[in-house]
Structure 1
Amino acid sequence: MPSILDVQTIEKNREELFSRTNWFDSTSQLQNRVKGEDLDKYFLLTDSEKKGIAETIRLNVSATPYYLKLSDPFDPQCPIRRMIVPDSSESVLSVEESSDPLHEERLSPVRGLTHMYPNRVLLFSNHSCSVYCRHCMRGRKVSSPKERMEKEDLESAFDYIRTHSEIEDVVISGGDPLNLSNARIDWILGELSSIPHVKICRLGTRNPVTLPFRITKELCSIIESHNNDSLSVFCNTQFNHPKECTPEAKEAILRLLKSGVSVGNQSVLLKGINDSGEIMLELHKKLLEMRVRAYYLYDPELIPGSRGFRTPLQKGVEIVSYMRGKIAGMGIPQFVNDLPGGGGKITLSPNWYLGYFPDTRQHAFRSAVTGKVHFSFEPSGSEYESFYHILNEQEWEKLIADSTSR
């Protein structure tokens, strides 16, 4: 049990941090970010956390006062705290881990640009984030000043895009691209708008979650000015837990929506934080209330020091299965694995399809809502029967029996 003095000191330190921050000003929030060496002022740290802070092999530590306020200073299992504060698992490099498991650097023709898919590229716009999340899959780059993208680096990336007419879709990530100045964001979007074959731009930002005050009217006006007939701008953010769904976050999302930007959510499945159907269902219900549609649920990447976050592959399948029938389809994310080695994303889902019985031309399915077996017919003369899992007569009779016994 913490002593009364410890509790009072930490509460006082938090009050002082919050009071000296001009709360609704994003610059003040960034100026008052809490670094690793100061975490003991705002959390009653465990031995595991002290070891993690001292010996982490991950990225630097930093959190805005806004996001830190969402955390519990006295509960080591607080989900927000676990995304802010390292623990001892971050000091261990497992044999299966890699600093670049997706081979983004191997697939980088010019600095800061990854060309994995034929018609899409990922632009690493900057190295800075408002909060350095402990599960960040780009820890090799994020928070490192050596990875700063200068204007000439970005110009080289744009030159590459201009000379590759197959590129239609540009994902701007980082770091957090919305940590850039308004002028730099305006320039980047303007450059993309000037490339005739680029039709889609996707902004990958966690600022609606960690620094919602950055989503200002001025910023949204800039985005809206480039969201036009020649370029369609989308935004994907990352809410991982219901505690992140605050009124301030909702206000930031509504500003983006009013600028004509569709907002989707890409959660990361994190052990002990959101790895249950109940938490994911609550999160995505709150997101729909905020008018954010579900997009992806990521299986954690095999990055250094990440053993404390990784879950069994089946866990994501179970969560998606649990959510089906309890929320509208637009609130259910696709569970994806971004394949190591640069294989791209694949979706993993519960197997509701049970198989096909050629004699009756019927498919068998298991209902996600009732659990009952249902049947549907294949068109006569179909040339696709060989593509289906063929049920033998014994399997078919059992399914028939199951369908009538419930």
Structure 2
Amino acid sequence: MKALHSVSDLVATGLMTPEAGDAVRTVAERYAVAVTPYLRETLAGRTDPADPLYAQYVPAPAEGYTAPEEREDPIGDVARSPVKGIVHRYPDRVLLKPLHACAVYCRFCFRREMVGPGGEALTAEELDAALAYIREHEEVWEVVVTGGDPLLLSPRRLRGIVEALSAMPHVGVLRLHSRIPAADPDRVTPELVEALTSPDLATWIAVHVNHADELTPPVRAALARLIDGGIPLVGQTVLLKGINDSHAALEALFRGLVRNRVKPYYLHHPDLAAGTSHFRPTLAEGRALVKGLRGRLSGLCQPTYVLDIPGGHGKAPAAESWVEPSVDADGDGSGDGGGDGGYRVTDFTGRVHGYRG
């Protein structure tokens, strides 16, 4: 079975009607389309545009609208790229982007203007230059390999990157961000797992999963192969309107991840990528959702809700504060806290307590 790479493919396989295909042809000319054979089977019979899996991968007419605040480079990768393939935003870590191709193209992707079939990949010389930049900057402790999807690279090429980084004494952690375990789980082979491990480097993988329905038996088996091979996993999720923007959906997802030994890491507020406004809840809606999870899920199931500041200024925790300065430190309404060391602390039921310290 072949991957699907066009609207015509989607129509021919029954994932779209001809009329629906005609409505998104212009969208598909601008933003890449790809559905793996695994997802083609998984999506069979799930042709409702509101379905939480279908909506993530199949183009929709709403993508043709670009809101005034949306950007081609919403998190400012270009502004923080000193060398091709490197983004150096934080002092102790860099992004390494060896390729711009993906196995699937998520409809809400913040790099959707940069990735796609034939997307620019680093040549051997450019990869050497990017690795040289890391080698020369001894403050870099963690290298985050992203793209594109780095697990599209062959085990041989991944092994070359791992060996190069392992030879740099100041690099302690390699983190790869990937959709592959959830979108093409058979690609996670023992050979791939072996290529990513090194005794001189701690390898972590951030697995992108947005809905509990993605945790099918093949996906769970792929996650197990990575973990049993010695690679710890964290979960990366985007908060998406109509897909997972409810307490029930997020509870099921985060519990499902932890049940499969994946620690929820980031819950991203959607970036201001062109053509994605229909996926984006308001920040107030996102904060209310996250606040409501505090008493419903254990700490193991709680990711950090983050907002990537447009322009390349990094991530900021976006959740509401549970602890605030107060003039009523003891919570008795007397106001005797005086604002000197006094705080208002909200518990998971919404009750407010005083604290001095």
State whether TM-score is above 0.5.
yes
Q: Equivalent residue for 2:332?
A: none
Q: Equivalent residue for 2:23?
A: 51
Q: Equivalent residue for 2:102?
A: 129
Partner deviation per Cα, 1:18-48 (whole Å, 9 max, x = no partner): xxx3xxxxxxxxx434433211122243856
Q: Is the 8 A contact 1:178 1:207 kept in 2?
A: yes
Query: Residue 230 of structure 2 aligns to a residue in which SS?
Result: coil
Q: Is the 8 A contact 1:83 1:134 kept in 2?
A: yes
The TM-score with structure 2 as length reference comes to: 0.91
Q: Which letter maps to 1:35?
A: S
Q: Equivalent residue for 2:146?
A: 173
Aligned with 1:299 (options 244, 266, 269): 269
In the alignment, the residues of structure 1 paired with residue 21 and residue 154 of structure 2 have an alpha-carbon distance, to the nearest angstrom, of 34
In the alignment, the residues of structure 1 paired with residue 325 and residue 59 of structure 2 have an alpha-carbon distance, to the nearest angstrom, of 46
Aligned with 1:252 (options 208, 222, 240): 222
Partner deviation per Cα, 1:112-169 (whole Å, 9 max, x = no partner): 1111111111011212211111111111221142512222111110011111111111
Q: Which letter maps to 2:39?
A: Y
In the alignment, the residues of structure 2 paired with residue 170 and residue 352 of structure 1 have an alpha-carbon distance, to the nearest angstrom, of 32
Q: Equivalent residue for 1:11?
A: none
In the alignment, the residues of structure 2 paired with residue 36 and residue 160 of structure 1 have an alpha-carbon distance, to the nearest angstrom, of 40
Q: Is the 8 A contact 2:11 2:18 kept in 1?
A: no
Query: Residue 182 of structure 2 aligns to a residue in which SS?
Result: helix
Q: Equivalent residue for 2:333?
A: none
Question: Structure 1 residue 95: deviation in Å?
Answer: 1.9
Q: Is the 8 A contact 1:44 1:73 kept in 2?
A: no
Question: Structure 1 residue 244: deviation in Å?
Answer: 0.1
Q: Alpha carbon RMSD of aligned pairs, Å?
A: 1.8
Question: Sequence identity of aligned pairs in percent?
Answer: 36
Superposition map of 1:338-377 within 5 A: 338-356=308-326, 357=328, 359-360=336-337, 362-368=342-348, 370-377=349-356
Q: Is the 8 A contact 1:103 1:341 kept in 2?
A: yes
In the alignment, the residues of structure 2 paired with residue 292 and residue 374 of structure 1 have an alpha-carbon distance, to the nearest angstrom, of 34
Q: Which letter maps to 2:50?
A: Q
Q: Equivalent residue for 2:7?
A: 36
Q: Is the 8 A contact 1:56 1:305 kept in 2?
A: no
Q: Structure 1 stretches of 5 or more lacking a match? A: 1-20, 22-30, 379-406
Aligned with 1:199 (options 172, 179, 183): 172
Partner deviation per Cα, 1:233-277 (whole Å, 9 max, x = no partner): 111011101110111111111111112211011101111111111
Superposition map of 1:1-400 within 5 A: 21=1, 31-41=2-12, 42-45=14-17, 50-56=22-28, 58-71=30-43, 72-224=45-197, 226=198, 228=199, 230-356=200-326, 357=328, 359-360=336-337, 362-368=342-348, 370-378=349-357
Question: Structure 1 residue 339: deviation in Å?
Answer: 0.4
Report how many residues are paired.
345
Q: Is the 8 A contact 1:58 1:304 kept in 2?
A: no
In the alignment, the residues of structure 2 paired with residue 47 and residue 318 of structure 1 have an alpha-carbon distance, to the nearest angstrom, of 38
Query: CA distance change for structure 1 residues 95 and 48 in 2, over 3 Å: closer, same or farther?
Result: farther
Structure of higher RCO (CA pairs closer than 8 Å, 6+ residues apart): 2
Q: Is the 8 A contact 2:178 2:205 kept in 1?
A: yes
Partner deviation per Cα, 1:46-90 (whole Å, 9 max, x = no partner): 856532233346421010121133324432211111111111121
Q: Is the 8 A contact 2:7 2:21 kept in 1?
A: no
Q: Equivalent residue for 1:395?
A: none
The TM-score with structure 1 as length reference comes to: 0.81
More helix per residue: 1
Query: Residue 277 of structure 2 aligns to a residue in which SS?
Result: coil
Query: CA distance change for structure 1 residues 322 and 70 in 2, over 3 Å: closer, same or farther?
Result: farther
Higher alpha-carbon Rg: 1
Q: Is the 8 A contact 1:354 1:364 kept in 2?
A: yes
In the alignment, the residues of structure 1 paired with residue 29 and residue 282 of structure 2 have an alpha-carbon distance, to the nearest angstrom, of 23
**Greater mean deviation of Cα atoms: 337-346 or 268-277:** 268-277
Partner deviation per Cα, 1:185-204 (whole Å, 9 max, x = no partner): 00011111111111111011
In the alignment, the residues of structure 2 paired with residue 286 and residue 366 of structure 1 have an alpha-carbon distance, to the nearest angstrom, of 28
Q: Which letter maps to 1:62?
A: A
